Structure 1
Amino acid sequence: MSSPSRPPSYLAVLRTPQACRAFGAALLGRLSYGTVFLSLMLALTAATGSYAVAGGVMALFGLTSSLLSPLRAGLIDRYGSRRALPPMVVLYALLLTCLAAATWRPGTSGTLLAALAVAAGACTPPLGPVMRALWSDLLPDRRLLQRAYSLDSVAEELLFVTGPLLAGLLTVFATPAAGVALSAVLVLTGTFAFVSSPAVRTAWASHTGTPYGGPRTGPASAASASASRWRRMRDTAGLGRPVAVSAAVGLCLGALNLLVVVFAERHHQAAAVAWVEAALAAGSAVGGLAYGAVSWRISGHVRLPVLATALGLTLAATGLSPNLYVLVAMVGVAGLFVAPALTTAYLLADESAAPHNRTRAGAWVNTAFNTGASSGTATIGLLVGGLPLALCFVIAAVPPLLAAATVPVRSRRPATTPASSRRAGGTGHEPPVKR
C-alpha cells in the first residue's frame, strides 16, 4: 500500500492481485484489432481488385463494429463477461476465418464479402470497455484507477502501432488473408484467456445474485422506481460530457490522418507519413504516462475541457508548419493531450455509470471516438481539395475547441474518492450542486 503523501505508482497497479494475467490476456485479444483493419483492407483489395469495393466493405465493418458496441457491452453488463464474451468471440473469430478464406484467392463476390464483414462487425467483442470495467472492480482507490486507465490507454495506443507492422510483415512473407486469420486466432486466444483469469472469476462471483442489468429481487415500490429513473437520467447527463469530448477528439484525429498525408505529398515526401504517425503515438504514450502519474487535485470535469482546448489549439497551429520536421514535432506535441483526454473521458464515464452499466458507459466513449474518427476523415476529405491546407487544420481543430466551450464545468468529489463507495449503492457522485 502507498502512503497518502506518496502517490501510488504504475507498478502498484500491476502488482494488484490477479490484474496482470487479465490485463495481458485482454491486450493479446486487443492486438487483433491492430492487425485486422490493415490485413482485411489489403485482403479485400487483392480479392476484388477494386479500391471502391474494399473501402465500402471496410466502412461497413468499421461502422457496424463501432455503432453496435454499446449494445454488445450492455449484454456483458447484463450477463457478465464469462457468459457473454465466449459466444460473441467464437462467432467473431469464425466470421473472420470465413473472410480470410473468401479473400485468399481473387474472385469472391463483393456482396458476400460485405455480408460477412457486417456480421463480423456486429459480433466484435468489446475487450477495451470490458477491461476498463474490470479495472474499476479491481481498484477501489481512484488514484490507482487513474493510473490503470492511463496505462490501458497507452498500451492500446502501442497495439495500434505494432498491429499494422505485424500485418505488414505477414503481407510480405505470406498473404494479406493470413493476417485476417491471425487476427481471429489472437482475439479467440486472448478472450478465452481473459474470461478464465482469476480476476474475472472473482468479479463474476461478486456480482452473482444481482442481475447485471436486470431488475433487483424483491418488491419494487413506486419510490424506488422513481429513484431508479432519476439515477438513469443523472447518469445519462454525466455520460454526455465525456462522450462529446471523445467524439470531438476522434473527429480531429480522423481529419489529421488525412491532412498529414496531403501535407507530405505536397512536400514530395509521402513516405514521411509513417514518422508523423509515430510522433503522434509517441506523444500520446508519453502524455498518457505522465498524466496518469500525477495525483490531480483538479476535478476531471475541469481537466477534460482544458485538455480538449490544448489539443485543438496545438492542432490549429500545426497547419502553419513550414516543413515536415516542424510538422512531426507539432503532431508529437498534439499527441501529448490525446491519451490524457481519453483517459479522463473514461474515468468520468465510469464515475457517471451505475455499477451494472460500467461496460456500456465505456463502450459509448469508444463508439463516440471511433465514429468521430471516421466522420472526421470523410469530412476533411471533402474540403481539402478546395481550401488552403492551413485552414483545413484549423477546421479540424474546431470540434475539440467547440466541445470544450460547450461542456459545462462542475465541481465533483476529489479523484481520490474510493470507487467502493459507488458500489455500495451510489451512482458515482452526489446530486449536482454548485460548489
Structure 2
Amino acid sequence: MSSSTPSYAAVLRAPHARRTFGAALLGRLSYGIVPLSLTLASAGATGSYATAGTAVAGFALTVSALSPVRARLIDRYGPRRALPPMAFAYALVLGALALLTARHGVPAAPLVVLALAAGAFPPPLGPVMRTLWSDLVPDRRLLQRAYSLDTVAEELLFVTGPLLAGLIAALVGPAAGVAVSAGLVLAGTFALVSSPVARSQTGTAGAADPVENGPTPRRSRGGSFGGLGRPVVLSAGIGTCLGALGLLLVAFAAHRHEAPAAAWAEAALSAGSAVGGLVYGSRSWRVPGRVRLPVLTAALAMSLAVAGAAPDLYALAAVVGVAGLFVAPALTTAYLLAEESAAPGARTRAGAWVNTAFNAGSSFGMAAAGRLIGRLPLAWCFVAAAALPLILALVALTRRARGEEPVRRAGCEDPTRRARPEEE
C-alpha cells in the first residue's frame, strides 16, 4: 500500500469535474428526500400507513426493477438525449403525486398507481456520474479517489435528505417535499447534461450492443471474462446485510425501551462509512480489487455479526461504527470492478447492475430480518443477517485461491493493481 495517490483536490481540479459532480449531487439529493416525503404525504392523504407502505414499496420496486433498462438507454443514446425525457417524466409524475397528496381522503388505488409509475422514470444520475468520472479523470490513480468521493457524497445525501424532508414537512407539508424532489431532479439533470463531458457522450445507437441481457460473463475492456459477476453478487450480499441491519437496530433499541436511540447507531454507521471511504480512496492498493472486495465484504459481515452481542446501545453504536468503515470502501471497489469489466458502451449499465443488486439485497435483508425477529434471539438475528455476505465473500476468496480467476491477456496486469496505474 502506498500513500502516493493524488489528493481529492486533484480530482475536483480536473476540467469540468466540479460543475458536473455538483449538478449530479443536486439531482441525486431528490432521491434522499423523496422516500420519507412520499411516505408522510401518502399516510396523511389516505389516513393509512398500510397504503403509504404499499405505495412506497411499489415505488422502490419499479425503481430497482427498471434500473438496468434506464441505464441501457443511457448507454445507447448518451446522457444528453436519454436523461432529459426521463427527468421530465419523473418530475411530472412526482408533481401529480404532490397535488394528489396535498389533500385528504385520497383513494388508495390512484396513489399506488402513480407511485409505481414514478418509479419507472428516475434518471440514473449515480451510474451516469460514475461513468463520467472515467472520462473526467482518465488517470486511473485518480479514479479510485473519484469513486470514493462519489460514494461518500451519496452516503451523506441519504443522511441529509430525510432531514430536509422532515424540515419541509414541518414547515410546509410533506407533499411539498415530493414537489421539491421533482424540482431538484429537473435542475440537477439539466445542469448535468449541459456539462461538456456529458455532451461528449453520444451513446452506441446504431452500433452493436455490447451487453446482452444482464450481468452475464463476457469479455471486458481489459480482456478479462466474467468480471461483472463478482461485484454484482457481493453488492447483493452487502445490501442484504445492511437492509437487515436497519430493522435490527430498531428492534435492539426497542427491546431496551429506547427505540428513538436507534438513530444514533444509524448515524454511527454513516459516519464510519464516510471516514472509511475517504481513507480508502486516499491510498493506492497493491492487493487487486477482486481480492479487496470479498475481504471488505467479509470484514463488514463479521463486524455486524458481533454487533448483536453488544451490552447496550453505546456499545452497539461503536461496533456498528466500526462496521461502517467497510461500507463505502466495499461499494467503491464494486463500482470500480464493474467499470473495469464493462465494454466501452456498457459502463452505465454495469454500475446500474451493482446498484440494482444492492437495492434488491437490501429489500430481501429487511424482509428476512422481519421474519426472524421474535423467532430467534436478537443476537442470533444479527449473525443470520451477516451469514449470506460472509458466505459469498468466502466463496469468492476460495475461487481465487483455486486459480479460478479470469484469464488476462499476455502482458496485462490486474486493472486494480498499483503496478499499472493507468489501468486502475
Asked if Structure 1 and Structure 2 have the same fold, meaning a TM-score greater than 0.5 normalized by the shorter chain, the answer is yes
Which residue of structure 2 lines up, in the alignment, with residue 388 of structure 1? 377
Alignment of 1:225-244 (within 5 A): 231=219, 237-244=226-233
Which residue of structure 1 lines up, in the alignment, with residue 344 of structure 2? 355
Q: What's the secondary structure of 1:107's corresponding residue?
A: coil
Deviation of 1:412 (Å): 2.2
Task: Look up the equivalent residue of 2:12 and give its one-letter code.
Answer: L
Partners of 2:134 and 2:362 in 1: how far apart?
27
Equivalent residues of 2:220, 2:341 under 8 A apart: no
Which residue of structure 1 lines up, in the alignment, with residue 95 of structure 2? 97
Deviation of 1:198 (Å): 2.1
Equivalent residues of 1:300, 1:344 under 8 A apart: yes
Structure 2 residue ranges without an equivalent (≥5): 210-216, 406-412
Task: Look up the equivalent residue of 1:350 and give its one-letter code.
Answer: E
Q: Deviations over 1:400-431 (max 9, x none)?
A: 10110122334824434466x7xxxxxx9xxx
Task: Look up the equivalent residue of 2:162 and give its one-letter code.
Answer: P
**Counterpart selection for 1:71 from 52, 69, 72:** 69
Partners of 2:415 and 2:266 in 1: how far apart?
37
Deviation of 1:215 (Å): 2.4
Equivalent residues of 1:316, 1:396 under 8 A apart: yes
Task: Look up the equivalent residue of 1:337 and give its one-letter code.
Answer: F
Equivalent residues of 1:213, 1:357 under 8 A apart: no
Partners of 2:375 and 2:218 in 1: how far apart?
49
Task: Look up the equivalent residue of 2:83 and give its one-letter code.
Answer: L
Equivalent residues of 1:29, 1:190 under 8 A apart: yes
**Counterpart selection for 1:404 from 393, 399, 408:** 393
| Distance change >3 Å, CA 415–CA 24, structure 1 → 2 | farther
Which residue of structure 1 lines up, in the alignment, with residue 330 of structure 2? 341
**Counterpart selection for 1:122 from 120, 123, 146:** 120
Please state if 1:277 is matched with 2:266: yes
Which residue of structure 2 lines up, in the alignment, with residue 431 of structure 1? none
Deviation of 1:63 (Å): 0.8
| Distance change >3 Å, CA 192–CA 102, structure 1 → 2 | same
Q: What's the secondary structure of 1:106's corresponding residue?
A: coil
Which residue of structure 1 lines up, in the alignment, with residue 278 of structure 2? 289
Equivalent residues of 2:3, 2:282 under 8 A apart: no
Q: What's the secondary structure of 2:226's corresponding residue?
A: helix
Alignment of 1:129-278 (within 5 A): 129-201=127-199, 203-204=200-201, 207=202, 211-212=203-204, 214-215=206-207, 231=219, 237-278=226-267
Task: Look up the equivalent residue of 1:76 and give its one-letter code.
Answer: I
Partners of 1:181 and 1:191 in 2: how far apart?
16
Please state if 1:314 is matched with 2:303: yes
Equivalent residues of 1:264, 1:272 under 8 A apart: yes
Task: Look up the equivalent residue of 1:377 and give its one-letter code.
Answer: M
Partners of 1:97 and 1:385 in 2: how far apart?
40
Which residue of structure 2 lines up, in the alignment, with residue 24 of structure 1? 22
Partners of 2:206 and 2:12 in 1: how far apart?
33
Q: What's the secondary structure of 2:184's corresponding residue?
A: helix
Equivalent residues of 1:140, 1:418 under 8 A apart: no
Equivalent residues of 1:18, 1:198 under 8 A apart: yes
Which residue of structure 2 lines up, in the alignment, with residue 301 of structure 1? 290
The Cα RMSD (Å) is 1.9
Deviation of 1:232 (Å): 7.2
Partners of 1:398 and 1:213 in 2: how far apart?
43
Q: What's the secondary structure of 2:310's corresponding residue?
A: coil
Q: Deviations over 1:220-247 (max 9, x none)?
A: xxxxxxxxx9637987721110001110
Task: Look up the equivalent residue of 1:212 and give its one-letter code.
Answer: T
Partners of 1:99 and 1:325 in 2: how far apart?
40
Q: TM-score, normalised by structure 1?
A: 0.89
Q: Deviations over 1:265-291 (max 9, x none)?
A: 111111211111110100000000000
Which residue of structure 2 lines up, in the alignment, with residue 432 of structure 1? none
Q: Deviations over 1:368-394 (max 9, x none)?
A: 111111111111101101110000000
Q: Deviations over 1:321-356 (max 9, x none)?
A: 000000000010000000000000000000100010
Partners of 1:179 and 1:215 in 2: how far apart?
41
Equivalent residues of 1:62, 1:121 under 8 A apart: yes
Deviation of 1:192 (Å): 0.4
Partners of 2:225 and 2:115 in 1: how far apart?
31
Task: Look up the equivalent residue of 1:186 and give its one-letter code.
Answer: L
Which residue of structure 1 lines up, in the alignment, with residue 408 of structure 2? none
Deviation of 1:88 (Å): 0.5
| Distance change >3 Å, CA 20–CA 53, structure 1 → 2 | same
Deviation of 1:6 (Å): 3.1
Equivalent residues of 2:3, 2:284 under 8 A apart: no
| Distance change >3 Å, CA 280–CA 5, structure 1 → 2 | closer
Equivalent residues of 2:87, 2:123 under 8 A apart: yes
Partners of 2:133 and 2:415 in 1: how far apart?
20
| Distance change >3 Å, CA 401–CA 214, structure 1 → 2 | farther
Q: Number of residues paired by the alignment?
A: 401
Q: What's the secondary structure of 1:237's corresponding residue?
A: coil
Task: Look up the equivalent residue of 1:375 and give its one-letter code.
Answer: F
Matched-pair identity in % = 64
Partners of 2:394 and 2:104 in 1: how far apart?
50
Please state if 1:108 is matched with 2:67: no
Equivalent residues of 2:74, 2:82 under 8 A apart: yes
> Higher mean Cα deviation, 4-13 or 230-239?
230-239
Structure 1 residue ranges without an equivalent (≥5): 218-228, 422-427, 429-435
Partners of 1:165 and 1:7 in 2: how far apart?
34
